[in-house]
Amino acid sequence: MSASDKNTRPAPEPVQVVKQRRDRALQALVSGIPYVQFLGIEFDRRGDELTATLRYDPKLIGNPLLPAIHGGATAAFLETAAIIELGWARVWSDVESGALDVETMTPESLPRLPKTIDFTVDYLRSGLPRDAYARARINRSGRRFASVHVEAWQDNRSKLFAQGTGHFVMPEQNDGADAAARDRG
């Protein structure tokens, strides 16, 4: 908590202010990653819940005969959904508390992203030439390690075309913006 003790309950923030702050934070987290831009991955947000979208593009095709999305593109999509979910969970409280200032937030000022230790993808169906969606669930997130599961689907939420599980090393808490935020008090 900040040092300024409040005697009166502050008025709730206007909803637009809240949404803009969260969307800017998410944008800063995602927009700085060239490979995510190259693949065409976007994130939708409902509160703190994220859904990743892989916009279909002919360059994602791995089997032109079927045609089907390349397994590597699918793997990258799932891994990205997992990493952003972890990064997002990590910055959420600082964004909400104002410890991370979204006005001046850039990809460089954000905490470092987690590093992948291992990632396993199950290919359940071939990826069709259309948009794909993914949601990640953090099953365990400790100080140093995290385990994340990701589900990806296309037309039907209940018919997954791929799922993945990965383990990640979380960045040191005193890295980058985390430390800067603490220094600012």
Partner 1 sequence: MTTSENADRQARIAAQFIAAIPHSTALGMQVQSVSGGVAEITMPYDKKLVGDPATGVIHGGAVSALMDTCGGAAVLCHDAGPIGTATIDLRIDYMRAATPGQTITARAECYHVTRSVAFVRATAMDEDTGRPVATATGAFTVEFAK
Instruction: State whether residue 1 is helix, strand or coil.
Output: coil
Considering the complex, what minimum distance in angstroms separates the CB of residue 17 from partner 1? 28
Burial label, 152 (beta-carbon count in 10 A; 0-12, 13-18, 19+):
buried
Considering the complex, what minimum distance in angstroms separates the CB of residue 7 from partner 1? 42
Partners of 133 in the beta sheet? 53, 153
Our CB check for partner 1 shows the closer of 13 and 175 to be 175
Instruction: State whether residue 142 is helix, strand or coil.
Output: coil
Our CB check for partner 1 shows the closer of 103 and 108 to be 108
- CA distances from residue 74 to 96, 149, 160 in whole angstroms, order as listed: 32, 14, 12
Amino acid found at 159: K
Our CB check for partner 1 shows the closer of 48 and 109 to be 109
Considering the complex, what minimum distance in angstroms separates the CB of residue 72 from partner 1? 2
List of residues contacting partner 1 (CB under 8 A): 32-39, 58-64, 68-73, 75-77, 79-80, 107-108, 112-113, 115-123, 126, 176
Our CB check for partner 1 shows the closer of 58 and 142 to be 58
Q: Give me the phi and psi of 60, to 5 degrees please.
A: -85, -5
Our CB check for partner 1 shows the closer of 96 and 180 to be 180
Go through 81-90 and write b for each residue having 16 or more CB atoms within 10 A of its CB, e for each that does not.
bbbbbbbbbb
Both tokens assigned to 67? 């045609």
**Considering only CA atoms, which of 28, 7, 132 is closest in space to residue 70?**
132
Considering the complex, what minimum distance in angstroms separates the CB of residue 50 from partner 1? 17
Considering the complex, what minimum distance in angstroms separates the CB of residue 63 from partner 1? 7
Our CB check for partner 1 shows the closer of 20 and 106 to be 106
Both tokens assigned to 70? 């390349």
Considering the complex, what minimum distance in angstroms separates the CB of residue 26 from partner 1? 16
